[in-house]
Amino acid sequence: MTVLSKRVSEIAPSATLAIDTRVKELIQNGEDIINLSVGEPDTDTPMKASYMAIEGISKGFTKYTNSSGIIELRKRLSQKFKEDNNLDYDPDQIIVSVGGKHSLYNIFMTLCNPGDEVILPAPFWVSYSEQIKLADAVPVIISTDESTDFKVTPAVLESYITNKTKLLVLNSPSNPTGTAYTKEEIVALAGVLEKHDNVYVISDEIYEKLIYDGEHYSIANVSERMKERTLIVNGFSKTFGMTGWRLGYTAGAKEIIKGIANFQSHVTSNVTSVAQLAAIGALNDYDHTQKEMFRQRLEYVYGRVSQMPYLRCVKPQGAFYVFPNVEQTFGRSYKGTKIESSEDFCRLLLDHHKVGIVSGVAFGSPNNVRISYALNLTRLEEAMNRLDAFLAELE
């Protein structure tokens, strides 16, 4: 009999972190691996963020803080929402958590009762489904594919809503596909949701600054009614390259944020004190040139992948991933080993050509693979050359 709880025994480990761990072990062993598996930008922490954290340490700002986040940071985030998103949130409608992942987990645990349904469009970020299950809720998967640019249509969304539906998870721009919904598409989805008062929305907007075709538009902007039923999740990992600082935040209706705060107070007490100071510094030191840098990388990687044999790929509008379909490689062989899945594809590519990417299985899209282009162009060029060579050797 296992000593582990049922809930822990039934969750799957993070596929992205698992392959990232393996890649880093190979690198430590002297292998020349190009790691395109993890969603970690190669940009540095903004200098103002580091300076504010160092100053905080030197002045002894190392004690407990308000469990929802220091008021200075929540006021600055309130200003951010007004300036960047044209949304009004008071500081008590915002809570700071230990990363965007923690923010999401807080919401599921605060809002979901056993048996509640959470609509989750696939492909989806790997932790969504596992967190939903940890909250004793039921992930209801809407499968999408290249034919709709991996987007959910209003008619399809309507068909999945039941009297058990509690939440819709909306991630735009998306991890893993890079898909970004237009304003018109968001408004159309809101038209469905406004007919169902029992359905709330998690709008994961952590890639909002990285849209290359069009502008970011939040579903909370559609109407005051939608704003009251939307929880915006964001963080500092992607926009500011601060993955290790573990900083995320949620904005929403005051009653829900208060419930999240009660839950969080028993889980983490507070976000690391000096990390909160770093967050203030980061918000005052955003590098606007990085968007163009990532756009150049997208154009290069997408341009290469779209010309490769056996692969087909929808051009992303945001984030820093491409998500090609590799189904045409299934049944082919590499040096005597048959490829029967995207997992086989990724394993052979890593073992023989030293490029780490992630199978789409964990994202709910088993025929695809996720390739991150959060690396400099020199390494991306070498990675694409290796991928091209791998495909050329298939039989």
Coil vs helix vs strand at 59: coil
Q: Full-prediction pTM beyond 0.75? A: yes
Cα distance from N-terminal residue to C-terminal residue, the chain = 46
Give the chain's domains with CATH numbers.
Answer: 6-31+288-392 (3.90.1150.10), 48-283 (3.40.640.10)
Cβ-in-10-Å burial (0-12, 13-18, 19+) of 269 comes to exposed
- pLDDT digit string (tens) for the chain, length 395 residues: 678 988 888 887 777 777 778 888 888 888 899 999 988 899 999 999 999 999 999 999 999 999 999 999 999 999 999 999 999 999 999 999 999 999 999 999 999 999 999 999 999 999 999 999 999 999 999 999 999 999 999 999 999 999 999 999 999 999 999 999 999 999 999 999 999 999 999 999 999 999 998 899 999 999 999 999 999 999 999 999 999 999 999 999 999 999 999 999 999 989 999 999 999 999 999 998 999 999 999 999 999 999 999 999 999 999 999 999 999 999 999 999 999 999 999 999 999 999 999 999 989 999 999 999 999 999 999 999 999 999 999 99
- Distance (Å, whole) CA 259 – CA 108: 11
CB distance 343 to 294 below 8 Å? no
What secondary structure letter does DSSP report for 312? B
The CA distance from 301 to 292, in Å, is 14
- The DSSP-derived string for 207-250 is TTT-BSSS----GGGS-HHHHHTEEEEEESTTTSS-GGG--EEE
391 vs 313, 358, 395, CA distance in Å? Answer: 15, 16, 9
